[in-house]
Chain A
Amino acid sequence: MTLELLVEIFLGAASYWWLILIATTVGIIIGAIPGFGAQNTIIMLLPFTLAVPVEMALTFMVAIYVASHMGSGIPAILLNIPGTGGAAATTIDGYPMAQKGMAQQALVLTFVASTLGGFITSFITIFTIGYLAQIAFYLHSVEMVVIMLFGITLIAVIAAKDPLKGLISGVIGLLIGAIGADHIYSAPRATFGFLELYEGMPIIPALIGLFAISEALVMLENRSMLSAEGRERMLKAGWRETGEGIRMALKRWTHITWTSVIGLVVGAVPGAGASIGAFVAYQQSRLYSKTPEAYGTGHPEGIIAPEAANNGVASGSLIPLLVLAVPGGTTAAVMLVVLSYHGVPLGPRLFVEDPGLAYGVFATMVLSYLIMMVTILPMSRYLSRVTLVGTTILAPIIIGFTLVGAFSPRAYIFDMGVALSFGVLGYIMRKTGYHVVAMLIGIILGPLLEANFMRALRLSGGEYSVFFGSNIGNVLWLMLLASILFPIYSNWRRKREREARG
């Protein structure tokens, strides 16, 4: 990478600033509506991306893609409804912070963490893409099993206050995640004859039900989603709160950096997604925090970690597409179709024949984040006012919108039924002290864990020793063990210190 080329790619990307502005705005909106992801939008706009020059098509797709990751955090904070699975972990601290009347600060934390995390990781990618692509050569099924387990241990963290209920929620989630065709023989399991469940429990409708609909039902029990003190604070909020949010975020820039790098590494593995990146980053963030008990109560770092990570995943997930010609996720798969149509030579040849286009993807990302920083930050003041809207108005709107969102990814009426069923289940869980996030972790990560587990076993001919047969895997196992034992040791030590102090 020469300086001349670097300047050239940034100038090239900057010439499409107007398109990035449009695409990031569209991306933030679709990311904020549960059920409407970047993938669907890019598919809908295929005729446009096929008709325009490839640079323009790629700029448009990349900007929409990164913006949708950022947009998904908005409803997670304001309404406890993640726009995508990648923002599910954001609800754990984002919504409690909003309930305290600090929605504006929480949104600013999200925006700064997302833009800064995405900015840092896309910049890192420009200079290290060759090395990052190597991650896919070392993290295979066995290693992915351990990485999934990092995310799944979050269930225990969430269940800290009531381990039995947390465990029950997580296990039920894992069982729900096991519905559908098995990963080896494609034979349907536990579908109860519903064709719509053959591919597994649809994540988006389940997420919408567990979070959006159940939250709307809970909301209706009160006139406002805010506490009295929180409402008071929100009514007085102005630009000062935006500034406070920026300060809170910038003070934690190192936290943003390392959690976004977790996302980048996870994203560089083909098939891993934003949900895994965000859950693992949240778990790691809490593990190394000096105040782990503050997580779940509206802690800034609990917002920063998943948001920086899911934007890091956005940078990482395009690496396999460009370097190996293998799309790392569903949105990247649609991009592959567009790039193939335009005759772009993907894989190592791309970096030789057309380095401008290859690196230009990440230059576009960097610029997208810069533009979003300018456009979205001032909006947080106004977006946060949503929390002041009466619940009798808000709840029906949420239910209506999200039911359409549940329908849209697959166009099955059945999925609206799934969302409503999970809505009722989520409501009962909330009222009885069971944690919906623990269940969602099971539903999202369960099938991925099972797929990698079964694959590793098949590769080894059924030998369980395969899980301890790779050096990287063994290091990851030790890290996992440490991340489980470390909090236990810390608690024990704190308890001892308290006792010693009398």
Chain B
Amino acid sequence: MAGSGKAHLRPRDEVLLRVEDLVVEFPAGRGRTVRAVSGVSFDLARGETLGIVGESGCGKSSAARALVQLPPPRSGSVRLDGRELTTLRGEALRRTRRQLQMIFQDPISSLNPRRRVREIVGEGPRVWNLPGDRVDEVLEAVGLDPATAAVRRPHEFSGGQCQRISIARALILDPEVVICDEPVSALDVSVQAQILGLLEDLKARYRLTLVFIAHDLAVVKNVSDRIMVMYLGKVCELAPSADLISRPAHPYTRALIASIPDGGLDLPPSDTLISGEPPSPVDPPSGCRFRTRCPRARERCAAEEPQIRQVGEDHWLACHFPALPDPEPPVEDSNKE
């Protein structure tokens, strides 16, 4: 998979957020480097929900944090509404923050235990010197009763309610893009359904554009218009949600779908599609990073990194030997070396 390349990006004037060649690396001690994200590109049209899915260590959360420049990526470009964020520092960067908000995985840890809900949600307007009279409105929008909830502290709420407070805090600034980093993975099934429904409602009400990151493909499919599959810091496949699930072409996407107990697809058992464990992002394999677990891998996969190419309408993938439905062999040299 390994995929690099930007063939799948849409024209600049059609997208709200455009990410090119994002690279995120961390020191891992003893002079080594964790290559969390290695040359990932994607874009978001206004009002769209892009799902990013992958297993732990695939770089999806690192990519999310690089989008909000916390910390800024090692290299690459993040353009929001035409403005480059990666070169901004200090006050100039702070000025852009209203447009880009984030919701985190751990609902308890994302709220300051010593502050009351009204302060937590009202923090955004206070920082931006906006009138704070919208606190009640957003609390109501996320399904909390302002009269009783606003004066309480986070520990008096359940996980699901805490996540609603986090959402209210993000929404009160009227952001253009909200990045949801595993927003429901810490929640019970019944609460998860409530939060997913709430996100859909709010998206329509506030005309939001969402990046929805999760490890659960079924959850991602539920809310996303398009899904991008990542593996070990690279893009594998990117397609409209229904298309990706019904016609997965990348070997890793297929393994991921087959691993889900009720995949409901005619895929062979997952253990014939994937083997072993993910390698360390400190020392990723050469060529295609998925090749060490891929039953279809051949010599070329070790030697040459596949580039992202189109395999269907708005269906993109980075693989030398994909499982395409049509019998004709994959066009191997359609991309330049």
- Tell me if chain B binds chain A: no
